[in-house]
């Protein structure tokens, strides 16, 4: 076993209500890997039996080792509380991808599902301790992660004790629409391998069509899942060859489905032939939706870079007081590339040490070249070079040599990590006019080498041919400006653009409020970040509009409504997105615009909250019980 300590660095920025934090897994041999620390809910902290169950499931999940499954490191007790620790795969959930792009191109969707099938099938074969198959039972867009390197990873193994409780053998509201027929009837105890096949097929259907079958049936949903035929999709959304595959994967009777996820994968591959996106194409697609310079990705990188630099500084500072192994920087943001071993969590996190003392003045003793930091496999640190016998320079206490070495190590380590992230970045996106869940404007400057001089004179921070973020002082209130594409000797063209919306909304372009829709003006070629909002209507959406070609552009964004029904104790106050909707019992359904929302129910000091995504025409029911 490799003793390990976990150091929390900062928020993962995984969305409101998330308990996930970015961290480092620090091993005694001087190696450190990025990780994600997921703290257990407050109620679990108070229940020893629940904590024990979480620990058992986590330790079993840590035995799974597959590139299409998020690697579980272990269960740990930290000063902040108990937590599951998993790999940092550097990506976004499939649900957030669907929030940005409601449907996915068939080749992209196919790549995601066949890789998810592979991961789920591996878990079935790995099995439980008693030899039975390890069935997931909760495969849905929320439990599938897409890394920016294009690798699909199934999450949630070992997290059953985290899930909302199922009452009366049935799934709780909000998760129920992602259920197989046998789960509707018997809850989690009824799941089998074909249940995972059904859920994979259901997710595939949603990726291609943008909707969940029968989700709009409200009280008739259970009957629809158990008896109704699979709703045919809008023409053109599902390739004709794939429809029979979806129908078989989602048969009502488990015995009539594909027997395993592997069989489902093989059927999909046979149906589409070579029309499957590569891992590189998926990475390129994701980078178009979530650019590397976007706020969330950039903040994660800054958090990790700062944590790694601090770790290297701590390691070197300790060398002055005791012998320790050489600094081993992370080999990348995907520690799943190496099989994890069982771990013994250590409660104490890595503590930051005080900064080094100032370098002493006076002559500096000569020294030999410092060994370069090890960036791959851990190995003991080389012994310090012995002083030259012929060196007649007097030795002085407090020599500055260790601090020079320390500075060299930091520079080399930072350069190596930055070079790694550049080398493993996805390809430059080319997908036009995609939506973006993050409405904050971001900037990428693509600059021809011949244009460096005037840009540098203007105070921009650029690198020839590379994408960089401009200096924060170059924009209003520190908000980055729009993407600029500059070619040597060619000024960016402008095109007439009209932006419309239904309903009428306040419009911001590249961080500047320009008025209400409809809006007409001229925009330079390239991507522009739009924000459309109306707080009274509970609409706040980000979009990316790419201006290209030589013709005027008219872009219309339509927002439709779904309905929300809330059952709560009498007198409970109900809020959606911070706006009061009324006091329970509500007289009927709430008509809410589609999008990402947060519901809050309060009774005295007790409160209940949940985030949810509402689609056009969808009916969502919440049954809230508060003590």
Asked whether residue 153 is assigned to any structural domain, the reply reads yes
Cα 482 from Cα 142, distance rounded (Å):
31
Arithmetic mean of pLDDT, 38-54 = 86
Nearest CA to 564 among 522, 534, 594?
Answer: 594
Q: Are residues 602 and 479 in the same domain?
A: no
Three-point CA angle 245, 251, 253, nearest 5°: 145
Domain count across the chain: 3
Confidence band of 621 (pLDDT split at 50, 70, 90): confident
Cα 241 from Cα 248, distance rounded (Å):
12
Tell me which of 289, 319, 344 is where a domain ends: 289
Omega before 71 cis (within 30°)?
no
CA atoms within 13 A on the CB side of 262: 5
Residues 6+ apart with CB under 8 A from 79: 347, 349
Considering only residues 347 and 604, tell me which one the structure prediction assigns the higher pLDDT. 604
Q: Give SS3 for 29.
A: coil
Nearest CA to 161 among 129, 195, 186, 138?
Answer: 138
The encoded tokens of residue 189 equal 């105890």
Among 59-68, 178-187, 374-383, 500-509, the least confident range = 374-383
Structure-derived torsion over alpha carbons of residues 251, 253, 256, 260, reported in degrees to the nearest 10: 90
CA distances to 108, 204, 239, 259, 474 from 208, in Å: 10, 6, 9, 23, 41
The encoded tokens of residue 304 equal 């990790």
pLDDT at 247 over 90: yes
Q: Are residues 140 and 245 in the same domain?
A: yes
Tell me which of 259, 289, 319 is where a domain ends: 289
Q: Are residues 270 and 159 in the same domain?
A: yes
Q: Are residues 553 and 597 in the same domain?
A: no
Asked whether residue 319 is assigned to any structural domain, the reply reads no
Which H or E run contains 591? strand 590-593
Q: Are residues 466 and 600 in the same domain?
A: no
Asked whether residue 514 is assigned to any structural domain, the reply reads yes
Confidence band of 480 (pLDDT split at 50, 70, 90): very low
Residue 490 DSSP symbol: B
pLDDT at 81 over 80: yes
**Alpha helix positions (H), 62-167:** 94-100, 106-126
Asked whether residue 526 is assigned to any structural domain, the reply reads yes
CATH number reported for the structural domain that contains residue 191 in this entry: 1.10.510.10
pLDDT tens-digit map of 314-337 = 777 766 555 545 545 554 444 433
Q: Are residues 107 and 161 in the same domain?
A: yes
Arithmetic mean of pLDDT, 406-425 = 58
Tell me which of 289, 313, 348 is where a domain ends: 289
Q: Are residues 253 and 141 in the same domain?
A: yes
Q: Are residues 154 and 193 in the same domain?
A: yes
Q: Find residue 86's DSSP bridge partners.
A: 36, 72
pLDDT tens-digit map of 135-154 = 999 999 999 999 999 999 99
Predicted pLDDT of residue 573: 93
- pTM, two decimal places: 0.53
Residues 6+ apart with CB under 8 A from 598: 16, 17, 576, 577, 578, 609, 610, 611, 612
Q: Are residues 101 and 188 in the same domain?
A: yes
CA distances to 244, 310, 408, 496 from 416, in Å: 50, 15, 12, 45
CATH number reported for the structural domain that contains residue 542 in this entry: 2.60.40
Nearest CA to 44 among 83, 1, 93?
Answer: 83
CA distances to 143, 153, 204, 562 from 94, in Å: 8, 10, 11, 21
CATH number reported for the structural domain that contains residue 576 in this entry: 2.60.40.10
* Residue 592, domain extent: 561-623
Cα 215 from Cα 206, distance rounded (Å):
11
Considering only residues 383 and 49, tell me which one the structure prediction assigns the higher pLDDT. 49
How many other C-beta atoms are found inside a 10 Å radius of the C-beta of residue 273?
A: 8
Most confident of 157-171, 184-198, 390-404: 184-198
pLDDT tens-digit map of 251-277 = 999 999 999 999 999 999 999 998 999
Q: Are residues 151 and 177 in the same domain?
A: yes
Backbone angles phi, psi at 242, to 5 degrees: -85, -20
Cα 277 from Cα 399, distance rounded (Å):
58
Q: Are residues 593 and 524 in the same domain?
A: no
Name the average pLDDT for the chain.
75
Cα 613 from Cα 608, distance rounded (Å):
17
Asked whether residue 390 is assigned to any structural domain, the reply reads no
pLDDT at 177 over 70: yes
Q: Beta strands 526-534 and 506-509: pairing type?
A: antiparallel
Cα 287 from Cα 279, distance rounded (Å):
12
Q: Give SS3 for 38.
A: strand
CA distances to 239, 434, 436, 552 from 498, in Å: 33, 17, 19, 8
The encoded tokens of residue 374 equal 């090890």
Confidence band of 359 (pLDDT split at 50, 70, 90): very low
Asked whether residue 264 is assigned to any structural domain, the reply reads yes
pLDDT at 196 over 80: yes
Asked whether residue 321 is assigned to any structural domain, the reply reads no
Q: Are residues 569 and 553 in the same domain?
A: no
Cα 449 from Cα 452, distance rounded (Å):
6
Among 91-105, 232-246, 514-528, 607-621, the least confident range = 607-621
Nearest CA to 446 among 472, 461, 463, 467?
Answer: 467
Asked whether residue 263 is assigned to any structural domain, the reply reads yes
């Amino acid at each position: 076993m490799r003793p390990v300590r976990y150091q929390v660095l900062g928020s993962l920025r995984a969305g409101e209500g998330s308990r996930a934090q970015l961290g480092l897994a620090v091993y005694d041999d001087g190696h450190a890997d990025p990780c994600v620390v997921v703290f257990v809910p407050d109620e679990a902290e108070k229940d020893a039996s629940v904590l024990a169950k979480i620990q058992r499931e986590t330790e079993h999940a840590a035995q799974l080792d597959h590139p299409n499954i998020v690697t579980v490191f272990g269960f740990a007790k930290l000063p902040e509380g108990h937590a599951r620790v998993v790999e940092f795969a550097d990506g976004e959930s499939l649900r957030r991808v669907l929030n940005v792009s409601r449907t996915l191109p068939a080749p992209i969707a196919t790549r995601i599902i066949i890789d998810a099938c592979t991961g789920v099938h591996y878990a079935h074969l790995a099995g439980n301790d008693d030899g039975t198959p390890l069935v997931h039972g909760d495969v849905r867009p929320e439990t599938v992660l897409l890394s920016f390197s294009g690798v699909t990873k199934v999450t949630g193994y070992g997290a059953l004790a985290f899930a909302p409780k199922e009452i009366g053998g049935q799934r709780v509201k909000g998760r129920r629409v992602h259920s197989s027929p046998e789960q509707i009837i018997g809850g989690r105890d009824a799941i089998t391998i074909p249940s995972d096949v059904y859920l994979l097929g259901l997710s595939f259907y949603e990726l291609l069509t943008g909707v969940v079958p029968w989700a709009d049936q409200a009280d008739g949903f259970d009957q629809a899942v158990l008896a109704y035929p699979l709703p045919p999709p809008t023409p053109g959304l599902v390739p004709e060859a794939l429809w029979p595959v979806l129908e078989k994967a989602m048969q009502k009777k488990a015995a009539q489905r594909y027997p395993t996820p592997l069989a489902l994968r093989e059927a999909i591959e046979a149906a589409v032939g070579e029309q499957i996106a590569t891992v590189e194409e998926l990475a390129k697609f994701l980078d178009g939706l979530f650019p590397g310079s976007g706020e969330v990705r950039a903040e994660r990188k800054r958090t990790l870079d700062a944590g790694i630099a601090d770790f290297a500084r701590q390691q070197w500072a300790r060398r002055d007081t005791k012998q320790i192994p050489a600094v081993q920087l992370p080999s990348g943001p995907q520690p799943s590339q190496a099989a994890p071993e069982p771990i013994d969590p250590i409660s104490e996190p890595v503590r930051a040490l005080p900064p080094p003392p100032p370098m002493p003045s006076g002559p500096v003793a000569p020294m030999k070249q410092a060994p370069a930091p090890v960036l791959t496999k851990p190995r003991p640190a080389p012994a310090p070079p012995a002083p030259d016998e012929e060196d007649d320079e007097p030795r002085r206490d407090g020599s500055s040599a260790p601090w020079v070495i320390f500075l060299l190590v930091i520079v080399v380590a930072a350069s190596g990590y930055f070079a790694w992230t550049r080398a493993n970045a996805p390809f430059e996106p080319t997908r036009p006019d995609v939506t973006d869940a993050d409405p904050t404007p971001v900037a990428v400057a693509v600059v021809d080498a011949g244009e460096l001089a005037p840009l540098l004179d203007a105070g921009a921070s650029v690198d020839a041919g590379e994408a960089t973020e401009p200096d924060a002082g170059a924009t209003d209130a520190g908000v980055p400006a729009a993407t600029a594409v500059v070619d040597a000797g060619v000024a960016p063209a402008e095109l007439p653009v009209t932006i419309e919306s239904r309903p009428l909304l306040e419009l911001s372009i590249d961080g500047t409020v320009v008025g209400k829709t409809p809006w007409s003006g001229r925009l330079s070629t390239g991507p522009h970040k739009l924000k459309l909002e109306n707080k009274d209507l509970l609409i706040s959406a980000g979009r990316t509009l790419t201006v290209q070609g030589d013709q005027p552009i008219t872009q219309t964004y339509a927002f439709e409504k779904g309905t929300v029904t809330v059952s709560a104790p009498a007198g409970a106050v109900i809020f959606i997105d911070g706006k009061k909707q009324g006091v329970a019992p509500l007289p009927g359904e709430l008509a809410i615009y589609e999008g990402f929302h947060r519901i809050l129910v309060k009774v005295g000091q007790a409160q209940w909250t949940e985030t949810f995504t509402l689609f056009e025409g969808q009916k969502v029911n919440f049954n809230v019980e508060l003590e």
